Structure 1
């Protein structure tokens, strides 16, 4: 069968939502869930049934078991926990800004599927709960690399284990507040309202700033924080991260996996 002309494929997809990667379909997750149509109670119900969150909590418990087996002294244990909590926002900022928002991963056939799954799909459909969570294949090694060596240098095996466990718990907290930011409700607490406003600006106004989720200190330090959308012009690539139909003509790997290049506002593309 003759292959469809790339331009035609992309044009045809303009009125359609981007195809989302297949994910684990078990129990509650046998259907797609959109946060803009869910209550907080429904989110909590879904969150603790998501396979990745169950895995992260299980790994944190296992890390706690390793600490009980080979405990580090109290000071080293507390220092490892504190350092893991402090390092997490920096590691997230670096990855979010220079990897997830990179324009080099889509150029390589073997990296394009990873980039599509871990971030492009999320920006194409920000409220789809299935693609909001990071892939464990990427998250777990990243947390391990960021925490285990630091903990080991502080207090050996026990401290390394507790640092990793802290990293996994911090990941779960970060993911939960990330869900809250996409949930269709007005937070009662000023801090939650603030981080929600900043993250929504990242998704719907200008994706080149506000890279934090719960911590925006590094955005402030590196000059990528903006408090109000009026502080910046709206980015033309806020939804596609620069992966346009023109780019797809040269680097078609993500478009081939997505069924084309979706255009327009995600909320209008995903009404059904």
Structure 2
């Protein structure tokens, strides 16, 4: 595992503050384009992004509430460990059965939600604005999943400790998710591996590798594949099954988009897949 030398660290922070000064020039249209950003530029965008700042604020508030309610150490530690352990499996279930399900876009009431929370991301995986979920969707989901766990273990204090932990996990996931779409080759072998697996999900076959930092659920439930040779390339890797025929039958997403579903993201070459 490689580490930063003093010169590398100095160069990183210099690039970070240069990115801050030139932040406006990083925008392409309505979004930061991860395909054109360096790692320091990502750090700058991530640490100043309103959604992430909102999560940081909620982490501080929920931690403060948990501490104000006089938590007991044992139940709090158990809660934190359970949330950390459950989080990747909860993400897997949501990603596979809800975000990649077809029932949301087939209902006019939920079609725009599906478009926002996942379809737009697969149509153009490098856009930062659609990579982050809307807090209006993510926050209630996190709270519904983790707070009952904490409440059952130790009451109100551990419920808020569970919420803080879930939000921390979300911030970690969101950062590594950005790394996986960044024009950057990670130095750490583990980060490089999870990036490769996620790129396969976006550019080879969407029906697999649903994890972000953890692929244990994929391995357990048979949706893991390690490289492009393991399975044929999917025809729906960019449209998630919402092709032109489906769009004609269920037009609400296409109406919101203002154009037919794209068969590849802008700039992607025909037949491209992860390497």
> Could you tell me the TM-score, scaled by structure 1's length?
0.87
Equivalent residues of 1:87, 1:146 under 8 A apart: no
Distance 2:171 2:185 in 1: 22
User: Is structure 2 residue 261 aligned with structure 1 residue 262?
Assistant: yes
CA drift of 1:269 comes to: 6.4
**Structure 1 runs of 4+ with >2 Å offset:** 27-32, 262-265, 267-270
CA drift of 1:263 comes to: 2.6
Distance 1:101 1:216 in 2: 17
Give the unaligned 5+ runs of structure 2. 1-22, 270-275
Map of 1:43-192 to 2, 5 A cutoff?
43-192=42-191
CA-based RMSD of the aligned residues comes to 1.5
| SS of residue in 2 equivalent to 1:48 | helix
Q: Deviations over 1:140-191 (max 9, x none)?
A: 0111011111001111111111111000010000000000000011111110
Q: Name the counterpart of 1:20.
A: none
Q: Deviations over 1:107-126 (max 9, x none)?
A: 11110000000000000000
Give the unaligned 5+ runs of structure 1. 1-26
CA drift of 1:250 comes to: 1.0
Distance 2:191 2:97 in 1: 26
Q: Deviations over 1:165-224 (max 9, x none)?
A: 000010000000000000011111110001000000000000000000001000000000
| SS of residue in 2 equivalent to 1:263 | coil
CA drift of 1:72 comes to: 1.8
| SS of residue in 2 equivalent to 1:104 | coil
Distance 2:153 2:169 in 1: 19
Equivalent residues of 2:242, 2:261 under 8 A apart: no
| SS of residue in 2 equivalent to 1:121 | helix
Q: Deviations over 1:233-265 (max 9, x none)?
A: 000000000001111111000000001223332
Equivalent residues of 1:187, 1:193 under 8 A apart: yes
The number of residues matched between the two structures is 244
CA drift of 1:228 comes to: 0.8
User: Is structure 2 residue 212 aligned with structure 1 residue 197?
Assistant: no
Of 197-206 and 45-54, the range deviating more from structure 2: 45-54
- Bigger RCO of structures 1 and 2 (CA < 8 A, at least 6 apart): 1
Equivalent residues of 2:239, 2:263 under 8 A apart: no
Distance 1:71 1:152 in 2: 14
Q: Name the counterpart of 1:242.
A: 241
Equivalent residues of 2:84, 2:169 under 8 A apart: yes
